Structure formats: structure tokens, C-alpha cells
Structure 1
Amino acid sequence: MAHTLEALKSGQLKGSKTLKLACGLKTFPEEILELADTLEVLDLSDNQLASIPEWISQFKKLKIIFFARNAFTEFPIVLAKCPELNMIGFKTNQIQTVAEHGFPPKLNWLILTDNKIEKLPKSIGDCTLLQKCALAGNRIEALPREMSNCKNLELLRISANRLKVIPQWLFELPKLSWIAFSGNPGTYQFQLDTNLESFHWSDFTIKELLGEGASGYISKALWTSKEQEVAIKVFKGDVTSDGLPEDEMNVSIAAGAHESLIEVLGQIESHPEEKSGLIMKLISADFINLGYPPSMQSCTRDVFDAQSVFTEVELLKIAKSMASVCDQLHAKGINHGDFYAHNILVNPNADCLLGDFGAATFYDKNSIWSDYIQRVEVRAYGCLIEDILSLIPDNSIKSSTRQAWEILISDCFNPNVKSRPSFSEIIMRLGDL
């Protein structure tokens, strides 16, 4: 909930741990300094700020700051002086330069999506606690080799930049699990060969909005000529935190048919706003999200309802179906990039559907690095299995069986990326569980 400038100036917010102001600010209100001893979260998104005062370094408890949709052209180097600051967000500003040694010592979550950054500082390699880094939609031409020192990096978004080479060391990072790197000159240029039919927008009657993601809107619609209810995803056309909508659309088409993928029936033409869109099979209403997106506290890991409980049978069914669909994707040279429980739909029978290709990337499956790329995603698969296993009551699964699952998870987490099992190997191992 947003606060008001009046409440801040009147002293009503004294002692607050969180401050959120969105009121056209062009300069920092001096009254914020009165919260220096208590403030932990500062959200000044949707203002007109272009700089941060030096006195921000007095905020010894400040952990999280958001400055999305402001007017910054430089990353504020003063933030390096905030000892507890670990999450920084400057999405959709005009940032062009990020100076050396501008990151705070405890940084673990950095959001610089949709700016104009051309070069990253070598000192990013000093951010050894960095787990999550969002850089999509910039002008970065190369990643500094020093970034290979970020051994705790788990999620990386570098789509829609100007990278001439996707460096090999990326896929050797010991904890990297979720990576999006499409929309760069150095990305494998996949030629989509499809005979997917196009259908006129006027042949559909939109009934209701089913959901909205970063890349588009999904609606229930009536396909008039076929008298059939379908789902239509209309892409927004903007760069998202994951990448470019056209890449998501192409991957959705190229992924092919699989019982754990939502069937694509066609694509839209003649949309009144010239938007792209896909026509998909309408799935049953008893499918729900397997989990929820990571919280600020969990950082890279999904969260689940407190009452979520799974059985051993459900775990095995989910594990088999997801290993199978990932095996098919990687056989086609597709890295999902966002393989999470919150992007999986499940019904009461534990039937699963993997969705959201917003972070997906085509890669050359014949390259020497294809095995590494697949095994980065294998680590994400290990996270999923670990999460579900933790929600199975101890008394409902044999200790030997739980141990077998834990060994599989450990193998998926092997810091030596090449030593992890492939998805086809995982499928074979699941046959013995």
C-alpha cells in the first residue's frame, strides 16, 4: 500500500520499516532521513527521480530499494555504502552507465531490466552473494569475464541485448538454474519452419480474461466458425523481464505436441492493434498452479501454500511428465529458462502442463555446449523435485525411497555441470522409483 507525502512530512510514518511513495517526486524528501534508523524497504517507483542523496548511506538497516520507472541515467554509486542492502531494482529507467564498485557488499538480487546499459562493470564479479540478476532489454555487448566469480548466481536474464557471444563460462556456473539469453546477435538463429495456420481475429469472440503475464493476456474465446471454446494469448509486444514476446511465440510453436504441453491450434492474423497471438486448446478448470513465484525472502525458490501436501505417487507422476517434456524441448534445442512450479499447471490426478515460454531460448543442439545448457535446466528440475519432496509427510514415504529421491536431487545439483544427468537419463532412473 502506498503512503502519502503528507503522512511522511507530518511524522506519521516515524519508526516505519517500509516506505512506498509514488507522487511525481523529482527530489528526495528530506523527511525520509528521519526513518534512517528503522527503514528496511524503500519503494520510490513511478516518480521522476534521477539521483539519490549521499545521506542514503546512513540507512544501516535498508535491505530493499525499488526505483522502477524513474529518470535515472546512471546507477547510483552511493548504494555501495549501504551495508545491508541486498535487493536493488531500477527497471525501466534510462540508465546508460554502471560505474565500477557501485554495488553493495550483500547484493543478491539485481534488477536492471529495460534500460540503456552498454557495459557492465568488472566489479560485478565481486558480488559473490548474487543469486538473481535481471538485465534483459539493455544494450550490453559483452559480459565481463569477472562475472564468472558469481558462484551463487542461480537466475540470469540477458535476453534482448547486443551480446555478440554468449560466453561458455556462463553454463559452467555451479548454481545457475534459470537462464534466458534469446534476442542477442550471438544467440543461435533458429529458422522456424511451420505450417501453423493463421485465423482471422474476427472469427473469435472474447468471453473473459483468464490471466495476464509479463508478455501478454490470455482470454477465453469462442471460435465462431467451429463453435469451440479456446484460449487466446495476445502478446503485448514489449520487452519483458524475461525477453522478447516474439521469441516466446516462436518457441511455443516449435515446442511441438506433448501431453504435458498446452496444444497450439493456430495463430491470429488481422488483430485490430496489429498484435501477435496464439490460439490454444482451452484446458480444464480443475488445473491449478503447482506453486507460486518466489517471494522476496525465498529469492529464487518458489513458495507453496502452507497446506500443500503431496503423495509419493503424485511426485513420481509429476517428475516423469516434467522430465519427459524437458527431454523433448532440449531434443529440439529449446531451453525453457523458467522451469518452475509456478509455470506448471496440475489437476487432482497429478496430470501436468508446462507453460510460459517467455524466458525460452533456442540453442544449437549440435554445439559442444548443448549438454551444458540442458544440464543447467536439470538443476532447475532438481529444485522442483526437492520442493515437492519436502511437502510429502515423512510417515507416508519409505525412508529408502526418500533417500533415492534425495540422491537424484543431489546429482541434479552437482556443481560440476557436465556431471549432472541428462533428462533422458533422469527418465530411466525414474523408472526404478
Structure 2
Amino acid sequence: MHTLDQLRSGQLKGITRLDLSASLERFPEEIFTLADSLEVLNLSGNQLSDLPEDLHRLHRLQVLFCSENQFEHVPESVGRCEALRMVGFKSNRIRELSAKALPPRLRWLILTDNCMQTLPDELGACTDLQKLMLAGNRLRELPATLAHLEKLELLRIAANQLPALPDFLLQLPSLAWLAHGGNPLDADAPASRTPDVRWADLQIGEVLGQGASGIIHRADWQRPDGQREAVALKLFKGQMTSDGTPQSEMAACLTVGQHPNLIGAIGRVVEHPQGEQGLLLSLVEPRFSILAGPPSLQSCSRDSYPSEWRLPFAQALRVASGIASALRHLHARGVTHGDLYGHNILIDTAGKALLGDFGAASFLPAAAPSQHGLLQRIEVRAFGILLEELLQRCEVPAEHVAQLAELVRRCQQPPVSARPDFSEIDAALAGLL
């Protein structure tokens, strides 16, 4: 994190990224002294409510973060920044998104946890858009012009007021990661039969890890039968994440139950002394490691892998087969994962894979059974991308090259309804094993 003193003294001349959180109420004019180098500007965690009209003087600016401020609108000056590709105004008070606030080359827009009731039709003209994050607003409908977003790959519309999913949304050729839980369209979602776990029955241990939505602890659980079991406890950080709400995550995770390739949920934690929400999970053995790193600002929608990392073909095939089996299990129980990425998968050296993080999971809408197949095949595209990434990092035997290349093609083909389902994919990969 940088300081105002560093900025004003000229110490930051030539930097490409500025991170400034200092309870700012006004945009520091000194930032313009960095115009010839600044590419990433992070002003999150301040008290800002507007940006200067001449923001475009930052002519190299590609990324702008203004989360956790006091904005009630996205400033129109943002739209005049020709090089801007990523814009983030998470957790403000935004009620209005003007068409004039949309940069011409926008790839990634984050407006999570605000107060918007409508979106401008002109958003559909942002044809470079790949990621659109709108969870936690008050949207009742989506503009039909979004049908023009043929490059859109990730969409977060959870925790809004949507009574239904528009059919055009489910035909977008590139969409692979969709979260829509916590809307009125989920009103008939099945209730979990998993018993609650009392906080008093847990002994909390060390932190095992954390992500955007929560912190995971090791814990010791005294089960109802009196036996003690080592488990993992996820305590949620707040009421809203980039993907949706803790309630949606817990409901989906508990509904799908146990599977050999899922990080299984045991129960919802109740009676926390501070009222925090928690989920008890099976403890993952230490031999497992994360398959990939999350997308970067540069890769946008693609996971990050070490440049020289490779894995044996047999291991890659077992990983793909296990994940396909897990997704077949989820879909059969009326749930989509919504975030099928390598960074949400743990693997061991034998190829055993565990899929976790249900933060973007959604229930198939009970009132629209005609949409179920399309929603499932949106997730098939995400699997096709994962399979392609795995195959790029191993030596595929000559006798399997054509078959696997065709499976990747079919999973990612633009006509959504033409993609295979996970029953077919699971069978195909199991046959290779």
C-alpha cells in the first residue's frame, strides 16, 4: 500500500500500479503526475463519491478499482478512459450506471454489492466484455441487448430480484461460469436434510486457508454419537461475496451431499456466539494441492499455471474423469457449480481430484424445466476449458489425441444445446481409463 506522502514527494514517479487507501474524500490531483506510466489504480477503501472529469488524462490506465467507497453512480469520466479494460466499484451505494460511464474497450466490470435496479441497454454494445459481476443488487430484469455479448464468459447475477432467467442468456456462445442463486427464481429450491452442528460441539484449531468468502479452520467435532472427528470449518466473512450469499452456498453444498470427488459438507454450524455463519466440511488430507492459481488481471477469465508445470497423462485423465463424475452428480441433484475452475480443484499425484468452493452454486429453477439442459451445458463449456488446459500440460498418447480433441471441441462449441451432458462426458472419460 502506498501513502499520500510518497505520492506528493515524487517517490512514486514511473510506477505502473498505485494502491492508495487513506480515508480520501477527494481524488488527489497528484495522481496525474503518474499519467505517463500508471496502468493500475486502486482507490478502494476510501470515502470517495466522485472522480475528476478529466480522468482520461491517465491515458495509460487499464485497471480501476474503487470498491468500498461512497459512490452512488459510476462517474461518466470513467467512460472517457480509452485504454481502460477493467472497472471495479464493489460495495458502494451505486444506483445508476450511465451508458456514458462504459469505457469502449471494457473486458471486466465489477458492480457487486450495490443498489442498482436497472442496467443501460448500451451495456450490450460492450462487445469485448468477458466478465460481468452484478451479484447483490436489486435487478429485476436484464436488458435484451446483453444477447450481443458473444465474448461474455463469466456472469454473476446472484442475490438480485430476478423472477426468471431470460432465455437469451442461456444461448450466449461463450458463457461458462454463471451464478444466479438467491433470486426469486430460486424460491422452490429443495431444503437440505443435513442436521445442524452446534458451535459448542466444536473445538477450533489453526487457520488452514482463506478466500474471498470465508476463512477455513481446522476443527475437532464431537459428533452426536459421542465420537470425535477432525473436520474443516468455513466461517463466512460477511453477507455478500463476489459470487453470491453464504446462504446460497451452504444450501447448494448441503443439498448435493457426498461424492468421492467433492469436498463433502457435513452440516451448517449454528449458535455461533457472534452470530457468524459457518459450514462444516470434511477435512482434506495434506497430500492434496491446488491444481491452478486464479485468473490474473491479464488472463481475465483463465486460470494461472506455472509456465513449466506438467503432469503425466494418466494423472490428467483421472483428474478430468473425477471432476466429470462430480458434475454429473451435482446436475442430477439439480445444482450447478458455477465456478468450475482449476483453482477450486485439489489433486494428488495419483490423479484423485476434489472439487470445492460452492460460492457460485445455483439451483436449477424449478419453474423453468425447459432451461435445465442449457444451464447444465453452460457448465460443460467450463469443463471443456479445464480439460483443454490439462491436456496442454501433458503428453497425450497418439491413440487418444483425436478423441480427446473432439471432446474438447464439442464441450466448447458455440451452440449451447449441441454440447454433450456430463453423463456422456463421464462415460467417455471412464472408457479411456
Q: Deviations over 1:198-233 (max 9, x none)?
A: 332122111111122233222111224423211122
Q: Is the 8 A contact 2:335 2:362 kept in 1?
A: yes
1:373-392 equivalence runs, <5 A: 373-392=375-394
Q: Deviations over 1:56-89 (max 9, x none)?
A: 1122211011111111111111111111100001
Pairing 1:316–2:317 present? yes
| Distance (Å, rounded) in 2 between the aligned partners of 1:38 and 1:233 | 41
| Distance (Å, rounded) in 1 between the aligned partners of 2:165 and 2:396 | 43
Q: 1:116 is matched with which residue?
A: 115
| Distance (Å, rounded) in 2 between the aligned partners of 1:100 and 1:307 | 43
Q: 1:173 is matched with which residue?
A: 172
SS at match of 2:354: strand
Q: 2:252 is matched with which residue?
A: 251
1:197-346 equivalence runs, <5 A: 197-224=195-222, 225-346=226-347
SS at match of 1:119: coil
| Distance (Å, rounded) in 1 between the aligned partners of 2:299 and 2:327 | 24
1:282 is aligned with what amino acid?
A: L
| Distance (Å, rounded) in 1 between the aligned partners of 2:197 and 2:36 | 60
How many angstroms does 1:265 deviate by? 2.9
How many angstroms does 1:318 deviate by? 1.0
Q: 1:15 is matched with which residue?
A: 14
| Distance (Å, rounded) in 1 between the aligned partners of 2:201 and 2:365 | 38
Pairing 1:138–2:137 present? yes
Q: Which range is displaced more, 327-336 or 219-228?
A: 219-228
| Distance (Å, rounded) in 1 between the aligned partners of 2:23 and 2:245 | 29
How many angstroms does 1:338 deviate by? 0.3
Q: Deviations over 1:310-352 (max 9, x none)?
A: 1111121111111111011111110100011111111121111
Q: Is the 8 A contact 1:56 1:78 kept in 2?
A: yes
Pairing 1:405–2:428 present? no
Q: CA RMSD in A?
A: 1.5
| Distance (Å, rounded) in 2 between the aligned partners of 1:76 and 1:192 | 42
How many angstroms does 1:159 deviate by? 0.5
| Distance of aligned partners of 1:200 and 1:298 in 2 relative to their CA distance in 1, 3 Å threshold | same
Q: Is the 8 A contact 1:73 1:97 kept in 2?
A: yes
| Distance (Å, rounded) in 2 between the aligned partners of 1:77 and 1:147 | 21
Percent identity over the alignment? 43
| Distance of aligned partners of 1:85 and 1:367 in 2 relative to their CA distance in 1, 3 Å threshold | same
| Distance (Å, rounded) in 2 between the aligned partners of 1:78 and 1:201 | 49
Q: Is the 8 A contact 1:166 1:187 kept in 2?
A: no
| Distance (Å, rounded) in 2 between the aligned partners of 1:137 and 1:108 | 20
| Distance (Å, rounded) in 1 between the aligned partners of 2:316 and 2:53 | 52
Q: Is the 8 A contact 2:91 2:111 kept in 1?
A: yes
| Distance (Å, rounded) in 2 between the aligned partners of 1:296 and 1:208 | 31
| Distance (Å, rounded) in 1 between the aligned partners of 2:115 and 2:288 | 40
1:94-109 equivalence runs, <5 A: 94-109=93-108
| Distance (Å, rounded) in 1 between the aligned partners of 2:37 and 2:277 | 47
Q: 2:92 is matched with which residue?
A: 93
Structure 1 unaligned runs (5+)? none
SS at match of 1:54: coil
Q: 2:427 is matched with which residue?
A: 428
Q: Is the 8 A contact 1:189 1:362 kept in 2?
A: no
Q: Is the 8 A contact 1:179 1:359 kept in 2?
A: yes
| Distance (Å, rounded) in 1 between the aligned partners of 2:12 and 2:270 | 52
1:35-50 equivalence runs, <5 A: 35-50=34-49
Q: Which range is displaced more, 87-96 or 54-63?
A: 54-63
How many angstroms does 1:237 deviate by? 4.2
| Distance of aligned partners of 1:84 and 1:400 in 2 relative to their CA distance in 1, 3 Å threshold | farther
Q: 2:80 is matched with which residue?
A: 81
Structure 2 unaligned runs (5+)? none
After TM superposition, the score normalised by the length of structure 2 is: 0.95
After TM superposition, the score normalised by the length of structure 1 is: 0.95
Q: 2:160 is matched with which residue?
A: 161
| Distance (Å, rounded) in 2 between the aligned partners of 1:390 and 1:188 | 41
Q: Deviations over 1:251-296 (max 9, x none)?
A: 1111022111123333323211223323222121111111111111
